Structure 1
Amino acid sequence: MKSLSFMKPALTTILAATLLPLSLSAQTATAPKPAAAQHTQAEPWTKIPIPPLHAFTPEKPKRIELSNGLVIFLLEDHELPFINGTILIRGGSRDVPADQTGFADIYGQTWRTSGTATISGDDLDDQMESKAASIETMGGVASTSLTWSSLTPDFDLVFSRAVDLLLHPAFKADKLQLAQQQIDTSIARRNDDASEIAIREAIKLAYGAGSPYARQPEYATVDNITLKDLQAWHDRTVVPNNMIVAVVGDFDSAQMEAKLRAAFEPLKRGEPFHSAKVDFTNPTPSVNFAEKADVNQSNVLIVGLGTERSNPDYYALSVMNEVFSGGFGSRVVQDVRTKLGLAYDVEGQYGASYDHPGIFYVLAGTKSVSTVPALKALEAEIGRLKTDPPTPAELRKAKDQLLNSFIFHFDSPDKILNEQVTLAFYGYPLDFLDKYKAGIEKVTSADVSRVANKYIDQTKLATIVVGNEAQITPSLSDLGKVHTLDITIPPPPHGEQPQ
């Protein structure tokens, strides 16, 4: 789960140390009390009443579906004179051939930097900057997107430019080459950081190295991408029944609907985009090592498959996750970091993605000599989830943290609209968010114990260590047979290394 900030606990400690002595000194000035009486005095903050949480009923955006299949979401927000828009388009990196891995990122960049038939990407940059506006394109795992933002008076101009970029892109050779060079540079540097190596290799272990969710770009796969490929992908994906348009901000919904209909209703329905089915298998239990001789510490991970958000056990798994790794008070942090002192950084998550399994992981950064003890401690904490149900205090704290933080994911119309669009994109019901509060509140300690035993199987978890083998004592062989990972970078097909 997400790590909590160091600031709040530190601030609480400072306030307690500053204010409490003042209160006591005022009392002792008139009526001194024995030290024992002061020591047993009730903690006043425990008497502060905590009201129950209000019902969570996020505002529902207006949903419109055009005759050609394009879906529109509108949500008014008149607090500031801004209008933000997003066009979400089905098809992403998981849908490209393996020999063109890196395509989605290159497509997203080249699309924007090339501009259109009527305005170059560079001139578009200048025009947007003069209006304090933006138009951006991006490639993702399951989708590509075009976004824009502008002041209310400039909407018509910025929106017209965005539609022009959507419908009439001018993919240019020099911009493609620039995007390829930038990807090549990131490939050349991908082994610089030990933690990045560990995460990258952990994803491969969880999903399989050949999975579209784990593939990594290489010089050869980037070099395979041509302007013709970019245009063909654009023609295939940019059809109205393959897109969701979402607009939030300072506008009148009826007027905005008319503008969007005028722009998109003339488009002809195309062939719907379908992602290929991907099979997932649990990783083989193994100890995997990647050498990083220039460090004096180890990055260690234990990794396996997680679940999907549509899983009926999603709420119980969320509470389990919070008990296990949800911040400073979680088991893994308290035991491995605080009590045992085996790691300076510990975190974990039972991941839940929208339409495929997320990743279950726990990771730690530790001294080289603490590598094996730290891994054993992490394994023990994973095992304890199955044998030790959460205490009433752990359960209450986990549920409070989830519920109290949940609202901050949706504390603005922008966030609410983005989540509603994402749910619609993956086919989730419109009331999915509304059910979250009740779902978490119903979780019991027995539920957490049940899902831990159902979903966590230590014989289906893989271990990875990135570090300096010469400094790791005792040896990783104490954990079992060690498989050495090959993280060397295949050379460019034309023999030229990027700078």
Structure 2
Amino acid sequence: MSLPRTLLAMLCATAPAAARQGTVDELPAHPRDIAAPPLPLYKPVPPERHELECGARLLVLEAHEVPLVDGVLRFHAGSILDPPDRAGLAALLADVLRAGGSLGKLGTDGESGTELDAWLDAHAATIEVTAGLDEIRITFSCLSEDLEEVLGRAAALVLDPAYPADVFEKARRRSLTEIERKRDDTSLLADEAMLLLAYGVDSPYARVPTRSSVERIRREDLAQYHRAHLGGNRLIIGITGDVTGDTARALANTAFAELGEVAAPPPVEAPAFIQPTETRIYVIDRPGVSQTELRLAAPGTRRSDPDYASLFLWSHVVGAGGFTNRITIRVRTELGLAYSVGAYFGPEWNRAGRFTAYCGTRNDAVGAALEAMLGVLREGLERVPADELDAVRRRVLNADVFQIDTPAKQIERALELEFHGYPADFWDQRETRLRRATPEELEDAIARNLAPERLLVVAVGPKDEIVPALSALGEVSLFDPAAEIDPSAGQPPLVQEMLDAVGGREFWSALSAMEVDIAITGPNTELATRQWLDFREPRQRVAIQSGGATRITILDGEQLTQSGPEGLTEFPPEAVARLRRARERGIWALLHAIAAGDGVEVTLEGENQLRVTSVRGLDVTLILGEDKRPRSLQYTEEGVEKVFTYSEWTDRGGFSYAAKIEESTTGYRWRVTRLQVLDAFDPELLNLQR
């Protein structure tokens, strides 16, 4: 008899007769074949809900097994309310609030942060303050006999903060050190870069503290933020442990009696994911690192979305929940390309989250790893087999018990619903939807929410080693997060002089689209054209009139088509590549890319000369005139030197453009007869029938 069967026989022999399912000979061949009985249904007890006199809400969950109490104070605030030029303010506030202690003006004994630490250590208690995107959070833990004093001390930090000058300066130095440290953490760098690419540098949800933004913060800014956002009407408190609801309410009312109201949180627009028309790969150059960090992203959903449960299960099929998901099996187990890899939809409460896939891999394997990840995602669009879905569903539902296995976790779940305005039965609804979701529903949900051909991809690693492999999988651009936040960072001063001469960095970096009429003349050529140009994506429409006939040419990513008297023509990839290179060298697109720091590097070549390069193969020299406007552009293509000259600069509406462009080698001339800046490129322009 095998050892497992021997052990099973011994266990059954010592079990009560009524519990035995049969004789030893009837045992299954392997322990995994034993059918486990269904787990008993467990429903957490809902917390008591109280309204405090200061306007705050209090949730209390009693748990008297041990004489301990845990609590959390959550204010509707956070980094999304940082002033744009002072990113990092909420985080600095949280640090100084905790480390600075209280003054003692409101009838309490003031104590420094050091004195508070000593008291907490002596009573085996904790108080911590942190800042998130949409909250300032104060957590505490203590013996139940110390609850009144700990709650009073936590309240004193809010009501009577000290903000000592020396503590403020130390906290700011810590923040600046952390910013510098992040430059060496390729994983954090990839995550922050993805936020900038997904939501744009101006979005509060992509706001990243920089050295200049933190250095700009003053102690007065902390106090102003505090007064504006930390009020009773913005506060939700959760307390659980060895305390009754009535006692907790009385203690909280006393502790926060002086906490007044503040204005309602200012509206913050939910972030809109900037999804490319085709997968775009952005490389952040980090020479010398031995591993490349990969991030893939696409738009996500809210927890209230009807597809939430289906996408949650799909995530655990494809890329979440341990070592049994498809992407881990493919990339880690079968190919051995990564230790950590995954993919999932990360929903948010009151705004759409993101789909994210991640991987850390060797530099020489980055192409194979990305290709494997994309392959798994494409396969994930197909219907999930019922048995695979059932297995994932069991794991997900069984793991849910670990989200409510302590009173602290239960109160945290209840607080999430209260904080974000969700119904009290949300978690029950979620469980029902997880149990009922079908393979067909998963297939429909993923078709609505994921387009593997339209992903944002970030790769942090040495560009010389990884760009060649990545270029085979999509268009690659260099990306510098610091330059995205401040496009002038690292650029020669001559760049700013040039941009100032033609309308300013702000205008050219914000340029989205343009409609322009151009007359083209040359050897045996005379054309009238109207062009619609997209400076955000490789898209354009050109209407050409010649000899009484009109031809429409449309570029849409990797497709180039033309309609005319001869019918419809589709151009080969090499023609598309030539046109896209020509677009990138165009003076308007070039000024936009330089101003926005969009994947180009600019170096000083000589007096009034700038060299502009990119990993896509762009390599041109701009020669400026005495007025600092571009006078000519030079580059070499297939061994032939090309020179374009710009003249007749015209001022219009705060910016300037060259009304006359000439190409010396062919004799072609372009004259701009009308130019209109557009707010955005209309996708309908890609319709040949328009």
Aligned with residue 449 of structure 1, among 430, 438, 443 = 443
Alignment of 1:223-302 (within 5 A): 223-265=215-257, 267-284=259-276, 285-302=279-296
Kept in 2, the 8 Å contact 1:93–1:212? The answer is: yes
State the Cα distance separating 1:97 from its structure 2 match. Answer: 1.3
- SS in structure 2 opposite 1:404? helix
Alignment of 1:30-429 (within 5 A): 43-66=29-52, 68-117=54-103, 118-265=110-257, 267-284=259-276, 285-326=279-320, 327-386=322-381, 388-429=382-423
Distance in 2 (alpha carbons) for counterparts of 1:21 and 1:52: 23
State the Cα distance separating 1:175 from its structure 2 match. Answer: 1.1
State the Cα distance separating 1:205 from its structure 2 match. Answer: 2.2
With over 3 angstroms needed to count, the CA separation of the structure-2 counterparts of 1:115 and 1:312, relative to structure 1, is same
With over 3 angstroms needed to count, the CA separation of the structure-2 counterparts of 1:107 and 1:184, relative to structure 1, is same
Aligned with residue 486 of structure 1, among 480, 486, 491 = 480
Q: Which amino acid aligns with 2:469?
A: S
State the Cα distance separating 1:43 from its structure 2 match. Answer: 4.1
With over 3 angstroms needed to count, the CA separation of the structure-2 counterparts of 1:194 and 1:265, relative to structure 1, is closer
State the Cα distance separating 1:253 from its structure 2 match. Answer: 2.0
Compare 43-52 and 348-357 and name the one that shifted more: 43-52
Any unmatched runs of 5+ in structure 1? 1-17, 24-40, 492-499
Distance in 1 (alpha carbons) for counterparts of 2:462 and 2:137: 41
With over 3 angstroms needed to count, the CA separation of the structure-2 counterparts of 1:157 and 1:279, relative to structure 1, is closer
- SS in structure 2 opposite 1:338? helix
Matched, 1:460 2:460: no
Distance in 1 (alpha carbons) for counterparts of 2:414 and 2:246: 20
- SS in structure 1 opposite 2:250? helix
With over 3 angstroms needed to count, the CA separation of the structure-2 counterparts of 1:341 and 1:236, relative to structure 1, is same
Kept in 2, the 8 Å contact 1:208–1:283? The answer is: no
State the Cα distance separating 1:300 from its structure 2 match. Answer: 1.6
Q: Which amino acid aligns with 1:380?
A: G
With over 3 angstroms needed to count, the CA separation of the structure-2 counterparts of 1:296 and 1:239, relative to structure 1, is closer
Distance in 1 (alpha carbons) for counterparts of 2:96 and 2:294: 37
With over 3 angstroms needed to count, the CA separation of the structure-2 counterparts of 1:242 and 1:376, relative to structure 1, is same
State the Cα distance separating 1:483 from its structure 2 match. Answer: 0.5
With over 3 angstroms needed to count, the CA separation of the structure-2 counterparts of 1:365 and 1:330, relative to structure 1, is same
Distance in 2 (alpha carbons) for counterparts of 1:473 and 1:21: 56
Kept in 2, the 8 Å contact 1:70–1:242? The answer is: yes
1:348-375 superposed Cα distances (whole Å, 9 cap, x missing partner): 2111011222221112222222211211
Compare 278-287 and 115-124 and name the one that shifted more: 278-287
With over 3 angstroms needed to count, the CA separation of the structure-2 counterparts of 1:162 and 1:68, relative to structure 1, is closer
Distance in 1 (alpha carbons) for counterparts of 2:119 and 2:345: 45
Distance in 2 (alpha carbons) for counterparts of 1:44 and 1:96: 59
1:466-498 superposed Cα distances (whole Å, 9 cap, x missing partner): 12233338532212331001145899xxxxxxx
Kept in 1, the 8 Å contact 2:77–2:135? The answer is: yes
1:18-72 superposed Cα distances (whole Å, 9 cap, x missing partner): 945989xxxxxxxxxxxxxxxxx97423431222343342210000123543101
Distance in 1 (alpha carbons) for counterparts of 2:478 and 2:384: 37
Distance in 1 (alpha carbons) for counterparts of 2:259 and 2:294: 51
Length, aligned pairs only: 457
- SS in structure 1 opposite 2:284? strand
Distance in 1 (alpha carbons) for counterparts of 2:228 and 2:463: 49
Distance in 2 (alpha carbons) for counterparts of 1:336 and 1:152: 49
Distance in 1 (alpha carbons) for counterparts of 2:304 and 2:212: 38
The answer to which structure has the higher helix fraction is 1
Distance in 1 (alpha carbons) for counterparts of 2:39 and 2:274: 39
With over 3 angstroms needed to count, the CA separation of the structure-2 counterparts of 1:195 and 1:255, relative to structure 1, is closer
* Structure 1 match to 2:554: none
Any unmatched runs of 5+ in structure 2? 8-26, 104-109, 487-690
The answer to which structure has the higher strand fraction is 2
- SS in structure 1 opposite 2:338? coil
State the Cα distance separating 1:305 from its structure 2 match. Answer: 1.9
- SS in structure 2 opposite 1:290? strand
- SS in structure 1 opposite 2:356? strand
State the Cα distance separating 1:296 from its structure 2 match. Answer: 2.7
With over 3 angstroms needed to count, the CA separation of the structure-2 counterparts of 1:19 and 1:300, relative to structure 1, is farther
Distance in 2 (alpha carbons) for counterparts of 1:474 and 1:225: 42
State the Cα distance separating 1:344 from its structure 2 match. Answer: 3.1
Higher relative contact order (CA 8 A, sep 6+): 1
Distance in 1 (alpha carbons) for counterparts of 2:333 and 2:144: 51
Kept in 2, the 8 Å contact 1:207–1:305? The answer is: no
State the Cα distance separating 1:203 from its structure 2 match. Answer: 2.5
State the Cα distance separating 1:181 from its structure 2 match. Answer: 0.2
| TM-score normalised over the length of structure 1 | 0.86
- SS in structure 1 opposite 2:182? coil
Compare 479-488 and 286-295 and name the one that shifted more: 479-488
Q: Which amino acid aligns with 1:334?
A: I
Q: Identity across aligned pairs (percent)?
A: 30
State the Cα distance separating 1:106 from its structure 2 match. Answer: 0.4
Q: Which amino acid aligns with 1:232?
A: Q
- SS in structure 2 opposite 1:375? helix
Distance in 2 (alpha carbons) for counterparts of 1:102 and 1:78: 40
Kept in 1, the 8 Å contact 2:52–2:252? The answer is: no
With over 3 angstroms needed to count, the CA separation of the structure-2 counterparts of 1:398 and 1:177, relative to structure 1, is same
- SS in structure 1 opposite 2:358? strand
Kept in 2, the 8 Å contact 1:296–1:471? The answer is: no
- SS in structure 2 opposite 1:176? helix
Q: Which amino acid aligns with 1:361?
A: T
* Structure 2 match to 1:29: none
1:103-124 superposed Cα distances (whole Å, 9 cap, x missing partner): 1110001011111112111111
Distance in 2 (alpha carbons) for counterparts of 1:304 and 1:243: 33
Q: Which amino acid aligns with 1:430?
A: A
State the Cα distance separating 1:148 from its structure 2 match. Answer: 2.1
- SS in structure 2 opposite 1:276? coil
